[in-house]
Amino acid sequence: MGGLLVLGSKPDPALPPPEAFDELACANGSGASAARLGLPPPALTVMSAVLTSGLASGRHSIAALAGLETRDLYFLPRPPPQGRLRKRLRRRWQARRMRPEVLARELRRVSFRWSHWVYWDRETLRGRLREVCGDAPEVLAAAERKQPSTGVMALVLGLSLGRWDRYILSGFSFELTHAYGENPDIRERGTTASRHAETDTRIMSHLAQRHGKVFTTEPTVCQRAGVPLLAAALYSRTREEARESR
């Protein structure tokens, strides 16, 4: 079945050796990073509705994808607005721009191409998350408090499709940094820390333990989420294969 490289937007990602994966999954603008690294077009890309919310970070990511492509494009809707009334009203106003057809229009404007557009509503996405997490209550509760990042949802969707026997996380750092330029959100928020970090680390850790086929090339992901390093896994496999060949 081969391996799936799930590429986040972190600058200077630690890529696995080419023989470790067969296909690529991207999140939001990380396809721009993939192109610069000479990787093939992604088999799947997950994009958040936030890209067209009007925030400068969304426009930044869309612009970086100019002229690129993906095979399957999955649209990730925003959760219902929460918090104080003023915040909920602002989110409802933004929701007019965060529709699938708006994202499709903006991507076509920069000549980004796809073969298949996939739209799953929030209930379907919840079902996929429950499926791959085995209904773990603490994981699902964390996802309800804060939606996972688009990169982690790319991992969740990849696992739910069941097409690969190894999943490799590269280009993840739990920060807002982008490989394709400065993320405007950093200056606006005054921090590089991602609000998704707590949810993401919990989900990554659970999926790595539950499935036994999720690995990372990033020491930060290994240290914070307990995801095994791919180099160690490949070394262990090579050693086991050598014993079996004797």
Residue 9's nearest CA partner among 218, 200, 178 is: 178
**Which residue type occupies 90?**
R
Task: State which residues form the domain around 73.
Answer: 3-245
Whole-number pLDDT of residue 194: 85
Residue 9's nearest CA partner among 230, 166, 194, 201 is: 194
Helix 122-133 crosses helix 150-161 at what angle (to 10 degrees)?
Answer: 70
Alpha helices in the chain (DSSP H): 30-36, 56-64, 85-95, 100-109, 122-133, 137-145, 150-161, 184-189, 197-211, 219-225, 230-245
Give the count of domains, the chain.
1
Whole-number pLDDT of residue 245: 46
In what helix (H) or strand (E) does residue 182 lie, and over which residues does it extend?
Answer: none
CATH at 201: 3.90.1480
Distance CA 149, CA 32 (A): 18
Query: Tokens representing 58?
Result: 């969304």
Encode the chain (246 residues) as per-residue pLDDT tens digits: 789 999 999 999 999 999 999 999 999 999 999 999 999 999 999 999 999 988 888 999 999 999 999 999 999 997 765 556 565 556 655 666 789 999 999 999 999 999 999 999 989 999 999 999 998 999 999 999 999 999 999 999 999 999 999 999 999 999 888 888 778 887 888 888 888 999 999 999 999 999 999 999 999 999 999 999 998 556 445 444 444 544
Whole-number pLDDT of residue 231: 80
Name the strands in the sheet holding 166-170, side by side, starting at the edge strand that comes first in the sequence: 113-119, 69-76, 44-48, 23-27, 3-7, 166-170, 214-216
Query: Are 16 and 228 in contact, with CB atoms under 8 Å apart?
Result: no
Whole-number pLDDT of residue 187: 81
> What pTM, to 2 d.p., does this model score?
0.88
Distance CA 42, CA 170 (A): 14
DSSP annotation of 218 reads -
Whole-number pLDDT of residue 67: 98
Q: Which residues of 149-166 are buried (b: 16+ CB within 10 A; e: fewer)?
A: bbbbbbbbbbbeeeebeb
